[in-house]
Each structure stands twice: as C-alpha cells, then as structure tokens.
Amino acid sequence: MASALERQDPAVYAAVVGEERRLREHIQLIPSENYPSAAVLEANGSVMTQKYAEGYPGYRFYQGCRWVDEVEDLARRRARSLFKAGRANVQPHSGSAANMAVYFAALEPGDTVLALDLASGGHLTHGDPVNFSAQLYNFVHYGVDPEMEQIDFDQVARLAREHRPKMIVTGATAYPRFWDYARFKEIADDVGAVHLADMAHVAGLVAGGVHPSPVSYAQYVTSTTHKTLRGPRGGLILCQRELRAEVNRALFPGIQGGPLEHVIAAKAVMFHEAAQPAFADYARAVVDNCAVLAETLLSEGLTLVSGGTDNHLLLVRFPDDGPTGRVAAAALEEAGIVVNKNKVPFDTKSAFVTSGIRMGSPAATTFGFRADEFRTIGRLIARVLRNLDDDAVPAAVAAEVRELASAVAARREREETWPSLFTPHEAVTPALV
C-alpha cells in the first residue's frame, strides 16, 4: 500500500525519497548535521504539530493543552537534568531565535558585546555585519592568534578591558578546539559582563562528557538541538533560575508566537536519548573518529587549521595557489562526500568562495562509520583534492563511497545498532520498487 504522501503528492514524495537515498549513499561530513533517530522523527512528524499553545506549560492562551503541556514539561525537565542547568526553555525555533531571546533579555539596543569573529569560526548571530545582531548591538570581535590559530586570550582580555562589553559570547560554528569556559568567565567577571555560551556545535559532546560544560561558567547557555545532540531542528536556552522570567518573556511574546510542540516532543525524545550511557559512547566515538580523519588528512599532506582537532570538526586550509573551498566542496560532492566550503582564519576570500572546507564526524558516526572507515574516507578525500583536474576521479571515488556506505548500512542493520534510524520509503512501499 502506497504511503499517503505518495498517493497525494508524488512530487514531494519523490523529493523525500531522493533525500533518503542521498542520506544512505553519500557520506555526510557537514559537522552541524546528524541523523536523528527513528523515534525523534516519529515525534517530530506527530499530531503535536496541530496545537496552538502560546505561553508556557500551565500558563497558556489556549485550551486543550493537556498533552502538549505534558510533553513540554518533560522536555524542560530532561534538558535541565541532562545539562545540570537551573532552567530550560525548549521553545526556540532555532539557534538564532535562542540567541536573539538572550540578547533581548540581557541587553539594550546599542550595548557592546564581545564575540568570536566569523573568519575565526564565529556564528552569524554573534555580530556578523549582515545579521540582526550587528544591526542592533555594538559587536566587537576577538579572534584566534595567527601562529596557533587558537583563541587569543590576551586579546580577549585586552578587548574586554578596552570596550567594557555588557556581554561576552563564547561558541563557534567552525572552531576545532575545546572552549575554556572558565577562562572566559574570569574575563567576564573582571569587567562585569555576563557570559553567554552558545554551545550549539558541542552540545552533544557536552552531554556525552567529552567536552567541558559551560553551564556553571555562564549565566546563559544557548544551543541548537540538531547538531551533535542528534535531535530535531530547533533551539534551546538554559539559564540560571533567577533569569528565567526575562528569558521566557523575551522569547514569547517577545520574538515567537506559538511553539512548535511536535518539535518540542522530538526534543524531549532526544534529551532522553542523550542521557543514555550509549550516547556517551557515541560522543567519544565522534571525537575519536574526527581525530582519525584529521591524522589521515595530515598524513596525506593537507593543512588543518590549528594543526588538528579536539572535537567533532576540522577545517582544511588551502594554500593561496591551491583550490578554493567552493571548488573543493563541489568536487567532493560529486564524489559522494558532503562537506561545506568555509572561511578559515585570516581568509581573504569571500564566504561564497573561501580558502577552506569544514568537515566533521557526528553524522557519519551515527550512520555507523568506524575509525578504519574514517581512515578510508580521509584517503578518498585526499584523492579527490589531489586530482581536481581529472574529471574521472570523482565518479570513481563515488563508486567506492557507495560501496562503503552500503556495507556500513548493512552492518548497522545486521547489528541493530542503537538508536534505529529512518526506514527508507523503498523498504516500506513495494509500489516503488
């Protein structure tokens, strides 16, 4: 029996099936993506999408909220317990909304904020000129030092003393090293700033105990829920108990209307999964696999920003006379290896071109790739990058990638690895086969 979607809307159905194939046949190395479990997907696709529930559990503007209250409360409690946080708000639709709510709660327009610059790995919402954050607040940026390509704490301290920011923001979208949150707290305390730790990239590593937690060093912690945490797309705010009322008000009614209760249900499932001992094994494997990928790329002669990685991601820097990130990422996609072009510290090329590519291990580790296979992936990447002028190479590598991915998927299914992932429509819809 064909699915409702297949019968009713073949065009959308075909796109979904195409995406499922891409997710099974290509190697996903974009470090901000992951494969959520089948249970997370089920909650995300549930009837909870239907309900208007403006407000918070127990204080809603609509009747009929018994079950969405239940699920949102569960999500909040699980988030607090997972990260040992004072309070949790699970309503942000995205990381961007989570950051905006914290800015609205803690700052006045025009206030000064100190954050990591985009070329050093900072997020758009950390004061990139094209983003609302830079338009509403006076962002000053710290960066990495040119030698080590790691956070330059002397610069952070100097800029903090010079500009007396009201807030210091930590966290990045492309920084391959640990965050020393304690050191940032010292600097923030020295100048009377509050500390917002945006742990979007490393939240799953924090939950799994393989990256320091910012929670006791920051008044506010924001995150997305779909990266290393492996949940549905969305955002999260954690804060100290006494800051809760302002944060909640800033998000709703300040920024958002009705919460996405289906996504909140899926977040609740994800928080439960992330609290399991097996998730800590997953987080450890993510870091170990990324280290293997880094070692392999280095041994193949590539240059990595900061010389390597402590976490789930790495950045390849191309020399001035080498390929651009745009060309390299496109060639790798043709070879079935999905990465993204990315600026590297002190990059002179635009964000559309770039001198680097970013990749990481969270999604491929969930899919079932192990250390040896990450070594193979590293070699395949190097082969593509060494032969950008040879049109035959991407297709040859793509065939190897398909074979490798299919062997890994078969092993995953045979061993029933936790958690179970999506079942492709081909497997449940005989009409398609």
Chain residues that interact with ligand DSN, rule: CB under 6 A:
32, 95, 123, 173, 200
Shortest gap between Cβ of 384 and ligand DSN (angstroms)? 21
Shortest gap between Cβ of 113 and ligand DSN (angstroms)? 18
343 is catalytic: no
Distance from C-alpha of 42 to C-alpha of 269, rounded to nearest angstrom: 10
CB-based contacts of 376: which residues, under 8 Å, 6+ apart? 404
Place of tokens 């976490």: 311
Shortest gap between Cβ of 95 and ligand DSN (angstroms)? 5
In this structure, the number of other CB atoms found within 10 A of the CB of residue 148 comes to 11
233 is catalytic: yes
Distance from C-alpha of 425 to C-alpha of 18, rounded to nearest angstrom: 10
348 is catalytic: no
Q: Which of 222, 224, 225, 354 is catalytic?
A: 224
Shortest gap between Cβ of 331 and ligand DSN (angstroms)? 20
Q: Compare residues 173 and 296 and give the one whose CB is closer to ligand DSN.
A: 173
Distance from C-alpha of 217 to C-alpha of 249, rounded to nearest angstrom: 23
What Rg value do the Cα atoms of the chain yield, rounded? Answer: 22
In this structure, are residues 48 and 68 in contact, taking their beta carbons and an 8 Å threshold?
Answer: yes
CA distances from 140 to 115, 162, 212, 252 (A): 7, 10, 25, 28
Q: Which of 69, 198, 310, 373 is catalytic?
A: 198
Distance from C-alpha of 225 to C-alpha of 202, rounded to nearest angstrom: 10
Q: Compare residues 123 and 195 and give the one whose CB is closer to ligand DSN.
A: 123
List strand residue ranges (DSSP E) for 41-166, in order: 55-56, 59-60, 87-89, 112-116, 138-142
228 is catalytic: no
Shortest gap between Cβ of 173 and ligand DSN (angstroms)? 4
Nearest to 136 by CA among 164, 111, 102, 116: 111
Q: Compare residues 68 and 196 and give the one whose CB is closer to ligand DSN.
A: 196
Residues designated catalytic: 52, 54, 198, 224, 227, 233
